[in-house]
Amino acid sequence: MPVSPHYTPAPLYATLGEGFADAVASARFPLKTQRFRNQRWAERVGLGELSDDEWSRAFCAFEPLPDNLPEPLALRYHGHQFGSYNPELGDGRGFLHAQVRDPVDGRLLDLATKGSGITPYSRGGDGRLTLKGGVREVLATEMLEALGVPTSKTFSLFETGERLFRGDEPSPTRSSVLVRLGHSHLRFGSFQRLAYLGEKERLQKLFDFAVEHYAPAEPGATGDPVLRFLRTVSERSARLAAAWMTAGFVHGVLNTDNMNVTGESFDYGPYRFAPEHDAKFVAAYFDESGLYAYGQQPRVVLWNLTRLADALRPLAPSAPLGEALRAYEPAFMQALAKRVLHRLGLTSSGHDVDSALAEAVLSFLEDTRVPIDRFYFDWFGGAASEARALASPHRALYEEASGTALRSLFELHTPASEAALQSPYFQKEAPESLLIDEIESLWSAIAERDDWAPLQAKIEAIAALRAVLGPPPG
């Protein structure tokens, strides 16, 4: 299998030994039709040279990658789901296929699956993924990456030719298998499981592994390592929550098994992008209490971090772990200001001025219900884009008192890129968004006519947005 010099295998999870995962085998699929290949990221990790047949063998038949994991691993974990502890979890329709080093930043990357078949944790399920679910995840990851949200990337999607029956969509429906690329699938629930089982020795081993590979201490660092690790994960999670809020994104199932130690979101089931700043907006129809509503996400992330602290308590019985969690709120507020500036294409004018602008933007969006994507499109570049903003359908709201006050804050910031302001993207009449009606329309073209052109066009349009916004803030 031809790989480039950029390919650096790093099958480290297997070094943990017994008790952390189970060796499994992939399902054998009757069809292997490639529907999405992330060539950009494939080239980055040294797999861009694979032919279509080699890609199929690697990411649908799941032959081992060179010098990588010899067999897939279904990871073991527990988790709180909608506030209730569930000790029956684990990788039920996916596994860890391979690990590589990112040649750009040296970080460890996981290649993991969704829909690859039954494992010991399938709990009576078929271990499969609907094609619609795969398409939805492609769209989610492409859009979130474009908006600068720390997210897994959809690496590959194959249609697999099986007929699946699901209660929440017309059945039978088409099937798929997806591969995602992410910086870790080491979940909060991985630690919770070992704490629940009282396996302190393995808990310590997993913690040491996490510190070494995902949160190494700075040279000369002192103090309790658990406290230091928890503070790092808290700050990363705060930045993730801020990115979701600025993107208008609602994860839908923000359980502790869907959060990891690198502060990167993954596993997109019933997600939604909120059309407007509505704190009560929910993504999942079954979230009747609004536990994971848009406005609740920052609080839920902190609650999940507290559960991680509970799981780590056996390793540091006397350490003030609550102090680490207090890093969350200031990190969230700082990240929120940076994210607002990023979406507006503006440079920083100092912490206080940036924070004032972020607060004013979010208050304006909440009060006026101007669509989130529309607002950031209209005002990208701040005061330099006033003419475009005042040609918007929402001109009247921009000219009201709150809009006038907001415009005065824009004048305190300068555009980050004059070239971006002149890009073709801002010559369009409306911004790229990913609301549920469009997702359903894209799927309908596939389901009714097997027409993949609208999906491809959408992916290309999202790429244009990504190019305009540029890299996210650190």
How crowded is residue 201: how many other Cβ atoms within 10 Å of its Cβ? 9
pLDDT value for 3: 80
Is the peptide bond prior to 120 cis by the omega test (within 30 degrees of 0)?
no
Q: Fill in the DSSP letter of residue 198.
A: T
Model-level pTM?
0.96
Residues 345 and 384: beta-carbon distance below 8 Å: no
Q: Residues 172-202: pLDDT tens digits? A: 999 999 999 999 989 999 999 999 999 999 9
In the annotation, is 257 catalytic? yes
CA distance 263 to 244: 12
Using 50 as the pLDDT threshold, list the residues of the chain that sit under it.
none
Could you tell me which residues come within 8 angstroms of residue 327 by beta carbon, excluding any fewer than 6 positions away? 231, 234, 235, 238
Classify residue 92 by its DSSP letter.
Answer: S
Cβ-contact 468, 373 below 8 angstroms? no
Which residue has tokens 């912490």?
351
Angle at 366 between CA 365 and CA 369, to 5 degrees: 65
Q: How many residues are there in the chain?
A: 474
Query: Catalytic residue among 102, 110, 257, 287, which?
Result: 257
Give dist(CA 66, CA 8) in Å, integer: 10
